[in-house]
Structure 1
């Protein structure tokens, strides 16, 4: 159990540092310029993942709240609510990024091409809708989450180190699960559809350009790298999100959580926020070029 906690702490630290780096990079590179829509989405996703990982790290938040002398019930409701909201935002913004990429690379003759010049206006509206929808959908958690008191008497279910869920009506519990599952199934379906669409477009484009390039050049083409990046992010998200969802849904339905299950769920939940910035950093030429420049300067200095 102690080794699993050490892995969780390392994973949390890596995810926070990588997302902070990405957040500052996209903010800095767009200062004084008209921000690119892809950078706006990635910047927002990095911020969401920072909050998601931090609200899931009990030991860090416990120390912070204790130093601020904040009541247990308030910190429980706040962290639990924020964590659930960020989980919903993560899938929504990832889906939005997938749709944006599909529209961006669409050929002029396609149906999606007409949305290319309206993306800016639609994107702001999409951000507002996604945030307001998730903030309101998860608002019920404020009433059913609270500080741990006497579990044997109140039949509370421990979900974090200092937080538990109060018993709720079976109909309400089923309704919440139904709404959440419907949202997730729809968004995952959109992600898989747009990803398949992008792979087909890039494959066709690669075949058309094949006679203009050597095989070695094709292997390292931007289209090939973009396809691999999209597939890696979508596949990792779908797998990890549904594993996490199955664990949490089963626990809520059976009204039973144990420390090992909590630790495994946290590890699974943090895999995507950890992978995403690392994949984006390794695939963004601007970041790669900046790191190469910094490396060469360091060599000159030392």
Structure 2
């Protein structure tokens, strides 16, 4: 057990540091583009919002885990513990929602220029800020149950029937807690599934575009090295990373809800997986900023 926690100490600390630095660096790059005076593309604002959501999620989710694993002393009163735990849940949902929003926007942007899609494309840039605001409102309302039904972790023992959420805990036995956790699983899974669907659609559109280009011109590039094929692989990499980490984390959450056993091992695995995507997301986005994606107006 000692070795288990020693490994977790290193993993969580590296995860938080790398994730925050990576997201902050990419925010700086995008902000530099905005500050040059050029016309700002809506996708840049969405990506900045996503990266900011990743940072605050890493802070609110990662810091409590570091305090727990490293057994650090902290002074948080009853009210503050419930507020911090509430913000932790909100920022997780915000990260999921922002990733889904970016994926949907990209799917609309690269869709065929039919009359229906052309009208939708014209409206989308005006909806960027309202959609980001809606993400905040929905997640702030969704997790309001945490401060209402959560109890301070200092008032609970290390019972396997109590689910630690940041600086507070949820009792797994009341029916209200069960309903909330099941609904939260459905809520998070909706964003994960929608991101997977839109990413698959983007890959399909790029694949069709590549097929048309190969049919009308002869090029020395092979199919596997074409810009469209490279972008398709990167889209699928980002989507698969997002789906695997978040859906697997949600599976552990629903397992603990149904069995009413909050195993420390399962809790640590679920928390680690939920932090993986915000950590690797900026590096995947940075690698995806190729010549073709810029010309195709994805990034």
TM-score category of the 2 structures, normalised to the smaller one: 0.7 to 0.9
CA 1:194–1:162 in 2, change beyond 3 Å: closer, same or farther? closer
CA 1:181–1:113 in 2, change beyond 3 Å: closer, same or farther? farther
SS at match of 1:159: strand
Q: What is the aligned counterpart of 2:28 among 14, 24, 30?
A: 24
Shift of 1:87: 1.4
Instruction: Indicate the residue corresponding to 1:254 in structure 2.
Output: 259
Runs of at least 4 residues off by over 6 Å: 153-156
| Matches of 2:160 and 2:211, distance apart in 1 | 61
Q: What is the aligned counterpart of 1:199 among 203, 221, 224?
A: 203
In structure 2, runs of 5+ residues without a counterpart are 292-299
| Matches of 2:27 and 2:177, distance apart in 1 | 36
Shift of 1:55: 1.3
Alignment of 1:39-118 (within 5 A): 39-57=44-62, 58=64, 71-109=76-114, 111-118=116-123
Aligned length: 281
| Matches of 1:213 and 1:77, distance apart in 2 | 63
Give the CA RMSD over aligned residues.
Answer: 2.8
| Matches of 1:161 and 1:184, distance apart in 2 | 18
Instruction: Indicate the residue corresponding to 1:265 in structure 2.
Output: 270
CA 1:244–1:201 in 2, change beyond 3 Å: closer, same or farther? same
In structure 1, runs of 5+ residues without a counterpart are 287-302
SS at match of 2:133: helix
1:181 pairs with 2:181: no
Instruction: Indicate the residue corresponding to 2:297 in structure 1.
Output: none
1:149 pairs with 2:177: no
Instruction: Indicate the residue corresponding to 1:134 in structure 2.
Output: 139
Q: Deviations over 1:115-137 (max 9, x none)?
A: 11111222222122221111101
Q: What is the aligned counterpart of 2:279 among 274, 283, 298?
A: 274
Give the TM-score of the pair, scaled to structure 2: 0.83
Contact 1:156 1:164 in 2 (8 A): no
Give the TM-score of the pair, scaled to structure 1: 0.82
